[in-house]
């Protein structure tokens, strides 16, 4: 007999793409929460923790409400979910940042999260006014955004012959390779399982290389996530803050 836990996992994994993105965002809240707790920044830890719990609770309610329905997404619907993700998800991601930076308007926190998630690197806040936990959160969001863009290109645009894949394949645009909803879901999960470990490994390798070059461990992590995601989000203005560490610059050049 399939357990309730297994059924819920099945429901969560087969929700529309937007809600799968939302689940990743909710779970990622616990990383900056743990970081803040480690350094006894209890207010920041609570902000991220409660926001993450709230997100998971809402997701669970949605999974329960749709448990007797078969949810299927076409390629166009997946692209719609992606667009909604870039527009709506930053509202949720900005909640703890706005709570911690109490002197700013919510729109600024929202724009900062849009900048991070889309990896555009638009500067909203100067690095020196942000805590290390906020720096970590911005880098994590940008890192997830970089992974998302990579995944979307391979797992969503490629099957639809969009984003330049129609040129690479030599197929006319009207000869799009159609997949059933179940095939599309399997294709998405399979590519995630193949690409994410590589993305994570490259980030870890760059983090290790930057730490060996002499950069502080925390700054090395922020730089590593920013470089792999091409977001440009860092905890410092530039590498000159580290007294011209040319070794780090060489490492960054190699990975970039």
Question: Does the structure show a pLDDT above 60 at 98?
Answer: yes
What does pLDDT average to over the chain? 81
Question: Does the structure show a pLDDT above 50 at 150?
Answer: yes
Query: Over pLDDT 90: what percentage of the chain?
Result: 42
Q: Which letter does DSSP use for residue 140 in this model?
A: H
Q: Which residue has the higher pLDDT, 174 or 92?
A: 92
What pLDDT is stored for residue 175 in this prediction? 42
Question: Does the structure show a pLDDT above 50 at 190?
Answer: yes
pLDDT digits (tens, 9 = 90+) for 101-137: 988 999 999 999 999 999 988 889 988 889 999 999 9
**Residue 181 — very low, low, confident or very high, per pLDDT cuts 50/70/90?**
low
Q: Are 206 and 224 in contact (CB under 8 A)?
A: yes
- Under 8 Å CB-to-CB from 217, ≥6 apart: which residues? 211
- How many other CB atoms are found less than 10 A from the CB of residue 77? 16
- The torsion angles phi and psi of 102, rounded to 5 degrees, stand at -70, -10
Length of the chain: 256
CA distances from 19 to 13, 14, 24, 127 (A): 9, 9, 9, 31
- Under 8 Å CB-to-CB from 164, ≥6 apart: which residues? none
Question: Does the structure show a pLDDT above 90 at 34?
Answer: yes
Q: What is the mean pLDDT of residues 36-52?
A: 97
| CA end-to-end distance (rounded Å), the chain | 50
Q: Which of 28-37, 44-53, 168-177, 197-206 has the lowest mean pLDDT?
A: 168-177
| Cα 233-217-21 angle, rounded to 5 deg | 45
**Residue 235 — very low, low, confident or very high, per pLDDT cuts 50/70/90?**
confident
Burial-class residue 136 by CB neighbours within 10 Å (0-12, 13-18, 19+): buried
What pLDDT is stored for residue 10 in this prediction? 54
- Count the alpha carbons within 13 Å of 93 in the hemisphere toward its beta carbon: 33
What pLDDT is stored for residue 167 in this prediction? 41
Q: Are 22 and 92 in contact (CB under 8 A)?
A: yes
Write down the domain spans for the chain. Answer: 4-255
Question: Does the structure show a pLDDT above 60 at 254?
Answer: yes
CA distances from 114 to 107, 117, 231 (A): 10, 5, 11
pLDDT digits (tens, 9 = 90+) for 62-84: 888 776 766 666 667 777 877 88
- Under 8 Å CB-to-CB from 223, ≥6 apart: which residues? 206, 210, 215, 234, 248, 252
Q: What is the mean pLDDT of residues 19-31?
A: 93
What pLDDT is stored for residue 11 in this prediction? 58
Most confident of 14-18, 54-58, 169-173, 245-249: 54-58
């Amino acid at each position: 007999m399939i357990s309730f836990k297994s059924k819920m996992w099945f429901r969560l994994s087969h929700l529309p793409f937007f809600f799968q993105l939302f689940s990743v965002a909710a779970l990622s809240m616990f990383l900056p929460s743990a970081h803040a707790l480690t350094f006894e920044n209890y207010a920041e830890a609570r902000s991220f923790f409660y926001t993450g719990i709230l997100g998971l609770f809402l997701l669970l309610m949605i999974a329960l409400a749709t448990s007797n329905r078969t949810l299927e997404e076409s390629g166009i619907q997946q692209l719609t979910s992606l667009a909604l993700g870039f527009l709506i998800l930053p509202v949720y991601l900005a909640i703890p940042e706005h709570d911690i930076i109490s002197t700013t308007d919510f729109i600024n926190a929202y724009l900062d999260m849009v900048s991070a998630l889309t990896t555009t690197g638009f500067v909203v806040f100067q690095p020196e006014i942000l805590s290390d936990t906020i720096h970590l959160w911005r880098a994590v969001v940008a890192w997830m955004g970089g992974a998302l863009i990579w995944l979307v290109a391979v797992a969503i645009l490629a099957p639809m012959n969009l984003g330049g894949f129609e040129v690479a394949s030599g197929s006319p645009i009207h000869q799009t390779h159609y997949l059933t909803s179940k095939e599309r879901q399997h294709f998405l999960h399979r590519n995630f399982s193949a690409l994410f470990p590589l993305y994570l490994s490259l980030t870890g390798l760059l983090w290790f290389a930057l730490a060996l070059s002499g950069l502080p461990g925390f700054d090395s992590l922020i730089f590593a996530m920013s470089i792999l995601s091409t977001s440009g989000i860092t905890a410092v203005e530039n590498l000159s803050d580290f007294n011209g560490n040319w070794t780090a610059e060489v490492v960054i050049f190699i990975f970039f």
